[in-house]
Structure 1
Amino acid sequence: MGGDKSYAEHIPVLRDAFIDALFTDPDGYYVDCTFGRGGHSRELLAKLSENGRLLAIDRDPEAIAEGERLAEEDGRFSIVHADFARLGEALDEKGWHQVTGVGFDLGVSSPQVDNAERGFSFQKNGPLDMRMDSSSGQPLSQMLERVSERELADIIYRFGDERYSRRIAKSILNAKHEGKLNSTSDLENACFHATPKQARHGGAHPATRTFQALRIWVNEEMDQIDVGVNAAMEHLKPGGRLAVISFHSGEDRRIRDLIEAQVHPCKCPPQMPMCVCGKIPSMRWLQKKPVRPSDAEVAINPRSRSSLMRIAERISEAEGRKLAGYSGGSL
C-alpha cells in the first residue's frame, strides 16, 4: 500500500504492551490519539472484528495523509486532523459518547525527526520550526523573538529537566541577537558551547533536553495533554481503558497526576472515617508503576529507551460510590 514505506521506517514504541493494555473487546470502539504513521492503529485493527471501530487523531498533515490512505482501505477506521484539546469535540461529533479504549503515544515520531525541514532534530540541519502541525501556529524562530532569558531558562528547565538551563538560555538568545541563530545546527551549537566541558561527553548530547523542551513549548504539549487526557477519561465506558506512553519525566508526572485525581478524588482530612466531600472515584490503576520497555526492545528500537506507559481503567458510578464509602442514596 502507499503508506508502507513510512510505516516500516517507524517502529511503534511498546507496541505489544500498548495494544494488550487497551484491547478488551473485538467489537469495541477505540481511539488512537497520536496516529503518527499508524503502527499502533494497524495493530488494533488487526484485532478488531468487522463491528469494531477505530478513530485516530493527529495534528501533523503528513500523518493525516497516511491515515486517509488507511481509511480508504479499511472502513472500520477514520481519522481527524486535530490536536489533543479537540479530542472530546471529535468524539462528540461522531456520537461516540462512551468508548472502549483511548491511547496516547506522546512525543515526536521517527519520520518527523528524520525530516530535516521539520526542525525537530539537532542531528539534521533545518529551519527553527518544531511545529507538529506545520499549517498553523508559530515556528520556534518566531517564538524566540518574544521570550525573555528568564522565561526561556524556565521553559528549558521545566520541560527538559536541563540543569544548565540558565546558561543555555543565555547562549541561545545571545546567538539570536548576534544574528547567529538561523538553523537547528546553530541552536545545537549554542546548547553545546553553553554546557560545561566536563558534561559534554559520556551521555546524551548536550542539546537533547533543550530541543525536547522547545518542542513541548512550541506545541503547547502540556496544556494539550491536560485537556486530552481528561476528555479521554470522561468518554470511557465502565471497564474502558486508558494507556499513555510518554518520553519525558515531566510528561509522565502530569499523566500520573491527572489519573490519580480521578482515582483518589476525595478531599476529606485523613482522620475522617468515611468520605463526606462527595468526590467519587471514576478511575482505577491497572498498574500503578509505569510499564517500561524490555532490554530486547531497546536494542531493536533505541528510541524506546526513555518510554513510560501508564494504564488505568474507568469504573462504574456504583463501584466509585462503594470505594468512597457510600452505601446508597444521594450525596
Structure 2
Amino acid sequence: MAGETAHVPVLLDRVLDLFAPALADRRAVLVDATLGLGGHADALLSAHPELNLIGLDRDQEALARSARRLERHGDRVRLVHAVYHQLPEVLVDLGLSRVDGILFDLGVSSMQLDLTERGFAYARDSPLDMRMDPTTGQTAADVLNTYPVGDLIRILRDYGEERFAPRIAKAIAAEREKRPFEQSARLVELLYSAVPAASRRTGGHPAKRTFQALRIEVNRELDVLRDAIPAALGALAVGGRIVVESYQSLEDRVVKQAIAELAKSRTPEGLPVELPGHGPELKLLTRGAEKAGDAEIEQNPRAASVRLRAAERIGEAAK
C-alpha cells in the first residue's frame, strides 16, 4: 500500500472546498469519474460521513488498488469498471437519475506512469502499449506500425500540437519498414534525431508531445471527453457541482466549451425578462481555469500543468 498512500492528489484542498456546499451534512452521492488511486475519493469520504461515492475507472489495476484504500469506508463506496462517458449507463444500472457531485481528474495517472510495462513514460524503455485499459483496444505500437503517414501527421498535430509532425511521421514510416516498433527507447531515439537541435534546447523533451498524441489516440481521450462532460452535466441535480482537473490545453478547451454553453441564457436578446426554463443552467465557480500555487508544485510536480474548472447546476432547461 505504500504507493497508494504516498500518492498526492492534485489541488486536494480546493477540490474539497468546491464540493463542500453540495455534500455537507446530507446523504449525498458523488461520482469520481476517474478514480485512479482514490486520493480525492478517500478525502471526500472522510470529510463527509454521509457521502456515498461511485468510483469509475477503465483501469482494473487502479480499481483494485483503490478498493483496498477505500475499504475502510464500507458500503458507502461502489466501484465500477467503466470509461467516464459511460456514466449515464452506470447510473441507470445503480438506479440513480441525478447525483450531487462529479469529479474528473483527467490524463494519465501517477500509477500508470510508474508501471514501466504500461509504456506511458518516455524516460524508461518499455513496451509501446499506453492503453489505460490494457485488456482491450489497439496499442501505441499498433498506431506507429499501421497508420498511414497522413494519419500520423494528423494525430501528432491535433493531439500533440507538434510542429514537426510531418518530419516525425515520415521518419516513423521509414524506420518501421526496417523493423516494427515495439519498445519506447527506439521511438525516443528517433524523436531526438527528427526534432531539430534548436527546438530540443528550448521546447522541452522531444518525446513529450509525440507520447501525448499517441496516448490520446490509443485511448480516444478527447472523443470520450466530448461525450462525457455533457453527460455528466446532465446527471447533476440542482445544487450539484462538477469539478474538472485537466492537464493540457486540448482537454481544458473541451471542458471550458461544454460548461460555458450551459452557463449562458437562452432567452432571445431584447426581451425584458428571462423566459422560464431559458435561463443559465450552470453557475461558474471559478474565474477561468485555476492553477496550482508554487508551494504545491514544489511538493507535487504533477500539479504544474493542472487547470481546474468548476460549476454548479442552478436550473433545468425547459422541456
Aligned equivalents of 1:101, 1:237: Cα separation in 2: 8
Alpha-carbon shift at residue 254 of structure 1 (Å): 0.7
Counterpart for residue 30 of structure 2? 30
Counterpart residue identity of residue 215, structure 1: R
Alpha-carbon shift at residue 245 of structure 1 (Å): 0.5
Counterpart residue identity of residue 38, structure 1: G
Matched, 1:63 2:55: no
Q: Which runs of 4+ in 1 moved over 3 A?
A: 265-268, 270-276
Counterpart for residue 230 of structure 2? 230
Relative distance call for 1:267 and 1:225 in structure 2 (3 A) is: farther
Counterpart residue identity of residue 220, structure 1: R
Three-state SS of the structure 2 residue aligned to 1:54 is: strand
Aligned equivalents of 1:23, 1:144: Cα separation in 2: 45
Relative distance call for 1:71 and 1:11 in structure 2 (3 A) is: closer
Q: TM-score, normalised by structure 2?
A: 0.92
Contact 1:88 1:228 (8 Å CA) reproduced: no
Larger deviation: 98-107 or 193-202? Answer: 193-202
Aligned equivalents of 1:196, 1:279: Cα separation in 2: 53
Counterpart for residue 325 of structure 1? none
Counterpart for residue 18 of structure 1? 15
Three-state SS of the structure 2 residue aligned to 1:200 is: helix
Aligned equivalents of 1:159, 1:23: Cα separation in 2: 35
Matched, 1:158 2:158: yes
Alpha-carbon shift at residue 116 of structure 1 (Å): 1.1
Contact 1:37 1:67 (8 Å CA) reproduced: yes
Alpha-carbon shift at residue 95 of structure 1 (Å): 2.0
Matched, 1:91 2:91: yes
Alignment of 1:168-317 (within 5 A): 168-179=168-179, 181-264=181-264, 266=266, 280-317=279-316
Aligned equivalents of 2:54, 2:298: Cα separation in 1: 31
Aligned equivalents of 2:267, 2:135: Cα separation in 1: 43
Three-state SS of the structure 1 residue aligned to 2:130 is: coil
What are structure 1's unaligned runs of at least 5 residues? 322-330
Aligned equivalents of 1:98, 1:215: Cα separation in 2: 32
Larger deviation: 191-200 or 159-168? Answer: 159-168
Aligned equivalents of 1:190, 1:271: Cα separation in 2: 59
Counterpart for residue 328 of structure 1? none
Relative distance call for 1:179 and 1:274 in structure 2 (3 A) is: farther
Counterpart residue identity of residue 114, structure 2: D
Alpha-carbon shift at residue 40 of structure 1 (Å): 0.5
Contact 2:279 2:315 (8 Å CA) reproduced: no
Aligned equivalents of 1:170, 1:23: Cα separation in 2: 51
Aligned equivalents of 1:189, 1:123: Cα separation in 2: 11
Aligned equivalents of 1:183, 1:89: Cα separation in 2: 37
Contact 1:23 1:101 (8 Å CA) reproduced: no
Matched, 1:74 2:77: no
What are structure 2's unaligned runs of at least 5 residues? none
Sequence identity, in percent?
Answer: 38
Matched, 1:8 2:21: no
**1:221-263 Cα deviation digits (max 9, x unpaired):** 1111122211211111111111100111011011101111211
**1:118-146 Cα deviation digits (max 9, x unpaired):** 01011111111100000111111123333
Contact 2:267 2:279 (8 Å CA) reproduced: no
Three-state SS of the structure 2 residue aligned to 1:291 is: coil
Three-state SS of the structure 2 residue aligned to 1:125 is: coil
Contact 1:239 1:313 (8 Å CA) reproduced: yes
Counterpart residue identity of residue 292, structure 1: K
Q: TM-score, normalised by structure 1?
A: 0.89
Alpha-carbon shift at residue 201 of structure 1 (Å): 2.1
State the number of aligned residues. Answer: 315
Alpha-carbon shift at residue 172 of structure 1 (Å): 2.1
Alpha-carbon shift at residue 70 of structure 1 (Å): 3.8
Aligned equivalents of 1:298, 1:70: Cα separation in 2: 25
Aligned equivalents of 1:169, 1:265: Cα separation in 2: 45
Alpha-carbon shift at residue 57 of structure 1 (Å): 0.3
Contact 2:161 2:209 (8 Å CA) reproduced: yes
Aligned equivalents of 2:272, 2:90: Cα separation in 1: 42
Counterpart residue identity of residue 103, structure 1: L
Three-state SS of the structure 2 residue aligned to 1:134 is: coil
**1:147-186 Cα deviation digits (max 9, x unpaired):** 1112111111111222212222222222222216221111
Alpha-carbon shift at residue 271 of structure 1 (Å): 6.6
Three-state SS of the structure 1 residue aligned to 2:288 is: strand
Relative distance call for 1:63 and 1:43 in structure 2 (3 A) is: same
Three-state SS of the structure 1 residue aligned to 2:201 is: coil
Aligned equivalents of 1:301, 1:176: Cα separation in 2: 38
Aligned equivalents of 2:45, 2:62: Cα separation in 1: 17
Aligned equivalents of 1:158, 1:243: Cα separation in 2: 25
Relative distance call for 1:161 and 1:234 in structure 2 (3 A) is: same
Aligned equivalents of 2:172, 2:10: Cα separation in 1: 32
